[in-house]
């Protein structure tokens, strides 16, 4: 009996380990980063056109509520799902949704975005409410199977986000008699807590890995205090009447975040855009909490703090993470082009235009609103131009994912 040459065994093994299925549906970041970036690029200019009366049609909920909801539950949640369905695989070594199951999750997200504009409102609510509970359950099961209890709080936050979304739709449908802004503010607070948790791990780690010899020492007590007071301050802002307690807690939380960021050595990153965008975005968390604190006593409008957290912190951290993680998970080097750096600068410019310019020059509100939309949309169009081909193609190194 003739022996089979060893090279044949190698070829069989290589075929067995070849990635299967359409690359676009192999890992969660691919469809959700693409969809989230597309929504970010289109929805903000559309909202400004609605606000200025340049569009005759309107969403199924009032335009302001549509804008706030889609930026939170459409844009930010899409990126969070893409990140967690990708990071979850790395954290546990277990498979996350891919192929048909990933396509079903993405289609639920897309269906909600379409019916938000076309209706009927009950179908919009049904599709929109289905996604987050499914993702929370998938993520929780993944963490429990791997005994990865450290990341279980993220599943709880996803479940709370689903609850906030349910309250939003019940209030929008007049089933609940309450302000529809309350669940939207609660959702923003929950998203900020996710950012505080994830940024607290990755930003110092990325900074250390890119800066030879750098050491960052962190106090566990200070970390818990920072997260705890941030959660308390956001709870007071959302659910309690404006007053001195909200002012004090939010002021202290803002100071703790500023200290946390300074401990990460942000000045060491000024020549490394892939790092400074994360540090710069995180600074908006401290500033946003400060502005919310000042809003407690009427010194600034609440919208200043809201947009500092939504545009500066959330937009900045997202554009920084979707570039870095997409490069890594498509097998590309962490070396940015000038266009990608310009996308970072445009998001930071959008935050300044939306938050700080109206405070200093309120008479230029409409002009700054238009410029904000242009800067924001341009940043995510750049992302789509560069990354869309990568997100639908197999990895450069031929690996799965």
- Residue 210, in any domain of the structure: yes
| Residues 258 and 369 reside in one and the same domain | yes
Question: Residue 54: its pLDDT value, please?
Answer: 80
Q: How many domains does the chain have?
A: 2
- Residue 13, in any domain of the structure: no
Mean pLDDT in the chain?
Answer: 93
| Residues 288 and 217 reside in one and the same domain | yes
Domain boundary among 155, 178, 201: 178
| Residues 49 and 127 reside in one and the same domain | yes
- Residue 70, in any domain of the structure: yes
| Residues 204 and 157 reside in one and the same domain | no
6, pLDDT greater than 70? no
**How far is Cα 158 from Cα 132, in angstroms, rounded to an integer?**
7
pLDDT confidence band for 18 (50 / 70 / 90) = low
**Domain span at residue 353?**
180-390
| Residues 282 and 166 reside in one and the same domain | no
Domain boundary among 178, 194, 229: 178
> Which positions ≥6 away from 400 have C-beta within 8 Å?
17, 19, 20, 26
Cα angle 190, 192, 197; round to 5:
95
> Which positions ≥6 away from 263 have C-beta within 8 Å?
204, 216, 217, 218
**How far is Cα 91 from Cα 80, in angstroms, rounded to an integer?**
15
| Residues 144 and 206 reside in one and the same domain | no
237, pLDDT greater than 50? yes
Percent of the chain, pLDDT > 90? 88
pLDDT confidence band for 10 (50 / 70 / 90) = very low
| Residues 63 and 81 reside in one and the same domain | yes
Rounded to an integer, the average pLDDT of 213-240 is 94
Residue 181: burial class (beta carbons within 10 Å; 0-12, 13-18, 19+): middle
| Residues 138 and 258 reside in one and the same domain | no
| Residues 123 and 112 reside in one and the same domain | yes
- Residue 275, in any domain of the structure: yes
Dihedral sign for Cα atoms in the order 262, 265, 267, 269: negative
Domain boundary among 178, 207, 236: 178
Question: Residue 119: its pLDDT value, please?
Answer: 87
pLDDT confidence band for 277 (50 / 70 / 90) = very high
Question: Residue 3: its pLDDT value, please?
Answer: 43
| Residues 61 and 97 reside in one and the same domain | yes
**What are the CA-CA distances from residue 196 to residues 139, 155, 203, 278 (Å)?**
19, 15, 10, 12
| Residues 99 and 195 reside in one and the same domain | no
Phi/psi region, residue 79 (left: phi>0; alpha: psi -120 to 50; beta: rest), is: alpha
| Residues 101 and 184 reside in one and the same domain | no
Through-space distance between the first and last CA atoms of the chain, rounded to whole angstroms: 41
């Amino acid at each position: 009996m003739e022996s089979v040459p060893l090279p044949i065994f190698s070829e069989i093994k290589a075929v067995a380990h070849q990635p299967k299925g359409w690359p676009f549906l192999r890992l969660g970041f691919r469809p959700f980063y693409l969809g989230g970036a597309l929504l970010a690029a289109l929805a903000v200019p559309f909202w400004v056109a609605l606000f200025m009366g340049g569009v005759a049609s309107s969403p199924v909920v009032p335009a302001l509520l549509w804008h706030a909801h889609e930026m939170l539950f459409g844009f930010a949640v899409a990126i969070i799902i893409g990140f967690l369905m990708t990071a979850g695989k790395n954290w546990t070594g277990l498979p996350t949704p891919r192929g048909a199951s990933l396509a079903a999750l993405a289609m639920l997200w897309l269906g909600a975005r379409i019916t938000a504009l076309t209706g009927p409102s009950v179908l919009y609510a049904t599709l929109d409410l289905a996604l987050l509970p499914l993702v929370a359950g998938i993520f929780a099961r993944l963490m429990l199977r791997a005994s990865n209890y450290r990341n279980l709080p993220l599943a709880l936050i996803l479940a709370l986000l689903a609850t906030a979304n349910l309250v939003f739709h019940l209030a929008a449908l007049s089933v609940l008699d309450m302000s529809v802004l309350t669940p939207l503010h609660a959702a923003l607070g929950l998203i900020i807590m996710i950012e505080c948790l994830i940024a607290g791990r990755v930003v110092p780690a990325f900074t250390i890995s890119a800066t030879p010899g750098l050491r960052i020492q962190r106090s566990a007590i200070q970390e818990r205090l920072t997260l705890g007071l941030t959660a308390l301050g956001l709870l007071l802002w959302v659910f309690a009447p404006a007053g001195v307690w909200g002012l004090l807690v939010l002021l202290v939380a803002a100071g703790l975040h500023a200290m946390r960021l300074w401990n990460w050595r942000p000045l060491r990153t000024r020549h490394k855009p892939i790092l400074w965008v994360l540090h710069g975005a995180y600074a908006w968390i401290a500033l946003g909490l400060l502005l919310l604190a000042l809003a407690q006593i009427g010194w600034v409008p609440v919208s200043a703090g809201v947009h500092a957290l939504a545009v500066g912190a959330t937009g900045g951290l997202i554009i920084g993470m979707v570039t870095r993680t997409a490069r890594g998970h498509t097998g590309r080097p962490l070396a940015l082009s000038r266009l990608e750096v310009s996308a970072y600068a445009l998001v930071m410019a959008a935050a300044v235009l939306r938050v700080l310019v109206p405070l200093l020059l309120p008479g230029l509100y409409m002009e700054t609103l238009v410029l904000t939309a242009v800067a924001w949309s341009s940043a995510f169009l750049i992302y789509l131009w560069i990354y869309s081909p990568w997100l639908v193609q197999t990895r450069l190194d031929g690996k799965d994912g």
